[in-house]
Amino acid sequence: MEMHKKTPYEMLKGRKPDVSFFTCSDVFAIFLISVTQDQNLNLRLTKCIEESIHVKFDEESYTDEKVTHSSSIFQELLSCPYDEVPHAEDEATISDSIVSVPSSLNQDTATRSSINSLGADETLEDEDSPATDNSSVSNSLESASVSEHRYHPVDQIIGNIHDGVRTRSRVSNNFCMYVNFVSMILPDKIHSALQDADWIKAMKEELNEFERHKVWTLVPISSGKTITRTHWVYRNKVDKDGIITRNKARLVAQGFTQIESIDYGETFAPVARIEAIRLFLAYASYMNFIVYQMDVKTAFLHAPGFIDKDHPDYVYRLYKAVYGLKQAPRTWYETLTTYLLENGYGRGAIDNTLFIKNKGSDMILVQIYVDDIIFGSPNEKLSKEFAEIMSERFEMSMIGKMTFFLGLEVQQQRSGISICQSKYISDLLVKYSLSDCKPTSTPVSKTDKMHADPTGTDVNHSLYRGMIGSLLYLTASRPDIMFGTILCARFQANPKESHLMAVKRIFRYLKGTQNLALWYPRDSAFELFGYTDSDYARCYLDKKSMSGGCHFLGNHLISWSRKKQTSIAISTAEAEYVAAGRCCAQLLWIQNQLLDYGIKFSKTPIYCDNTSSIQITQNPVQHSKTKHIEIRHHFIRDNVEKGKVVLEHVKTSEQLADIFTKALDSQTTAYIIGELGMITL
């Protein structure tokens, strides 16, 4: 502890440790290792290495008392609890929209907590250690060590030997070294955070941003005003490999205490659909440009901290929204939209989270998801201009090339773009103790018929629902598990052992296909089409049919769906007709979305393997087989007449939508996965 000239033991106990036991040979062996390590640290500066060889220890001249003493002092060190360090206050004094702010971060606590941290200007290589005094220790040896001094080969020295002493501030600029200066432990309470200098620093950064953006003003408590309390939320930011890169502390308002029409009005704020993100990446692959990503550090501040010692009873009056408030997302969206419109960007007609700017023959696309933003253009200058104008108005964190977004791992290569969630799958297998499970070739058994199983053994509801929720999130990049996941999700109210086994089978399938990813090749054609299918009376509970479909732009799979129909179909033709209507609705959304990209499609083909449903769309006569079908399902026939879509027949063996409506064998599953454009990374 160079900064305090004290050892950790002395800081905790208030007295220096007894080091007389270091005459013990066993402890000296450890001490000698410390000496060698210290020599290695100074190697870059001296260009010289010192070796100690032929060391002998006198094992018999030391009493058991000394050995016992040496072990007891280490036990004392290990048994010293962390909670001996003084705790800070826990209560929060907060302001109101007006919000109240946690009082735990006072200067005294911060000073005490920083004792155990490395100072900002403290060097990494300059340490005072008693172990460097070899002469005092060697007197107790029966045979002194032989020392040799020689020049160390320069080509074996790591790094630049001419570099000066490395300080923490210099090292932190290196990404590979930065991880050494973040906390790996996620605190559950503010008390825990206050014992870690890294989390104290993160909380100070948050409060400094509040002050810089003039989010609040300290005012006396007004009568009749609602006070909204706050609390700290801690998160470790990780990259796609799961490496912690940053400690993030958020001061969040307890918005659940707000009352509608009193504390807030309209709260709706649009966010990008996952299909819009995949469409964005498909277009980027087709146009061969790089997609970049940035993050707004304090997004909701554009729409609290310490207690003031002079005014301990005051609260903060908010002038801008903070995280947790009901109206915060809407405030941020309106602020960002206004700023982009002022800078010449146009908002998408269908997707209000898409912004476009045309400059001559070039165009830049911007897609926002709350405070996460992706953007790109065939003209790199437009991407740089966007990054500059955003930095002028907001505090931005430029991440660079898009690699990890909304849980999706994105790899941008010269030959195309891949989308997967392999890291997430690996974490799920560990979480549910299935890392060593035996893989299976299909996610759903073709022979098992799932039903309510009222006589089956009950299982843990929380466990089952957690597994289902994890799988639903995974379907963002894994269409092959959509059918099985939705099938198992029906039994969340009262899951049985048979249902849990079906869920575990999906995880076993994921174990063998962990690196399966969507692939968007650069050289693919850009043609819109879809596949539709239905499984008649598939549900064994109410005999309703299943609708399934998938939608492509060339070889780029954009979206897929599986849904139980709301009414019972009396024929396979009706079931297929209703399923085709759902597929048509999704294709119309993609058509309208592509209009903002400057691309227009008409007569988009929908491939169906049922000729009767195709004839219904082409026949305007309301004969006896269709008169009972609800009017809302006939909109597909209207769009066929308008020329927006057209139904075409496809062989059942080539129906790609089968994977969303029924259980398949391993050979058919592998074939459809390949046709969906999925590859193993």
CB of 294 closer than 8 Å to CB of 396: yes
**pLDDT > 70 fraction of the chain, expressed in percent and rounded:** 69
Q: 396-401 and 291-296 as β-strands: parallel, antiparallel, unpaired? A: antiparallel
Residue 164 dihedral angles phi and psi, to the nearest 5°: -75, -175
pLDDT-derived band of residue 154, with 50, 70 and 90 as boundaries?
low
**Residue 79 neighbours by CB distance under 10 Å:** 7
Which residues fall within 8 angstroms of residue 483, CB to CB, at 6 or more apart?
443, 444, 548, 562, 659, 660, 661, 662, 663
Question: Residue 654 pLDDT more than 60?
Answer: yes
The first and second tokens of residue 457, run together, are: 């053994």
Position 152 scores a pLDDT of 55
Residue 634 dihedral angles phi and psi, to the nearest 5°: -85, 5
Q: What is the DSSP letter of 518?
A: E
Position 400 scores a pLDDT of 86
Question: Residue 386 pLDDT more than 90?
Answer: yes
**What's the rounded Cα separation, in Å, for the pair 276 and 290?**
17
Q: Is 117 helix (H, G, I), strand (E, B) or coil?
A: coil
CA distances from 151 to 35, 40, 50, 75, 542 (A): 19, 13, 10, 41, 84
Give the pLDDT mean for 438-455. Answer: 89
Give the pLDDT mean for 361-383. Answer: 91
Give the pLDDT mean for 338-358. Answer: 92
Place of tokens 């962390």: 82
Higher per-residue pLDDT: 30 or 434: 434
Place of tokens 């072990």: 71
pLDDT-derived band of residue 243, with 50, 70 and 90 as boundaries?
confident
**What is the pTM assigned to this prediction?**
0.66
Position 4 scores a pLDDT of 65
Cβ neighbourhood burial of 94 (10 Å; 0-12, 13-18, 19+): buried
Give the pLDDT mean for 305-311. Answer: 60
**What's the rounded Cα separation, in Å, for the pair 502 and 450?**
9
Place of tokens 């996620």: 186
pLDDT-derived band of residue 379, with 50, 70 and 90 as boundaries?
very high
Residue 167 dihedral angles phi and psi, to the nearest 5°: -100, 165
Question: Residue 625 pLDDT more than 90?
Answer: no
Give the least confident one: 94-98, 260-264, 345-349, 424-428: 94-98
The first and second tokens of residue 193, run together, are: 């955070």
Mark 637-660 as b/e (b = at least 16 C-beta within 10 Å): bebbeeebbbbeebeeeebbbbbb
CB of 21 closer than 8 Å to CB of 69: yes
Position 505 scores a pLDDT of 96
The first and second tokens of residue 472, run together, are: 């639903």
The first and second tokens of residue 93, run together, are: 């004094």
Average per-residue pLDDT for the chain: 76
Question: Residue 89 pLDDT more than 80?
Answer: no
Give the least confident one: 223-227, 398-402, 674-678: 223-227
CA end-to-end distance (rounded Å), the chain: 47
Q: Which strands make up the sheet holding 346-347, listed edge to edge?
A: 346-347, 354-359, 362-369, 372-376, 291-296, 396-401
Position 55 scores a pLDDT of 53
How many Cα atoms within 13 Å fall on the side-chain side of residue 354?
A: 23
Closest CA to 481 of 446, 452, 451, 507: 507
Residue 484 dihedral angles phi and psi, to the nearest 5°: -65, -40
pLDDT-derived band of residue 91, with 50, 70 and 90 as boundaries?
very low
Question: Residue 472 pLDDT more than 90?
Answer: yes
Position 176 scores a pLDDT of 46
**What's the rounded Cα separation, in Å, for the pair 608 and 597?**
28
Position 156 scores a pLDDT of 55
Question: Residue 172 pLDDT more than 50?
Answer: no
The first and second tokens of residue 623, run together, are: 């004969």
Question: Residue 67 pLDDT more than 70?
Answer: no
CB of 554 closer than 8 Å to CB of 528: no
Give the pLDDT mean for 93-103. Answer: 46
Q: What is the DSSP letter of 446?
A: S
